Amino acid sequence: MTNYDNTNRGQIWPNDKMRDDKQDPEFTGTLNVEGVEYWVSGWKRKPDANPKAPSLSFSIKAKDSQRAPNPGPQNAPDFDNSLPF
């Protein structure tokens, strides 16, 4: 069996667990961006929407276990705060 590199790739599938037509996405799936995994949700354009609206819109959320590191004070560069004047 061949292993595939799915970096920077994703897929969506029809949401078979949809309960609320107004809130739940019509499609769900996953996306890999630079090695970080994300959940993907998608909605089709409604029949009464503006014809120039996108035919499919997405929402992307990082999977909790692989969220990108949050740059905080512990990761900040060490600057010399002395002023030369």
What pLDDT, on the 0 to 100 scale, is given for residue 85?
A: 54
Residues 5-38 have pLDDT tens digits of 889 999 999 999 888 776 789 999 999 999 999 9
* Angstrom distance (rounded) from CA 51 to CA 3: 41
* Angstrom distance (rounded) from CA 19 to CA 25: 10
Residues 30-77 have pLDDT tens digits of 999 999 999 999 999 888 999 898 888 889 899 875 555 544 444 445
The residue extents of the domains of the chain are 10-65
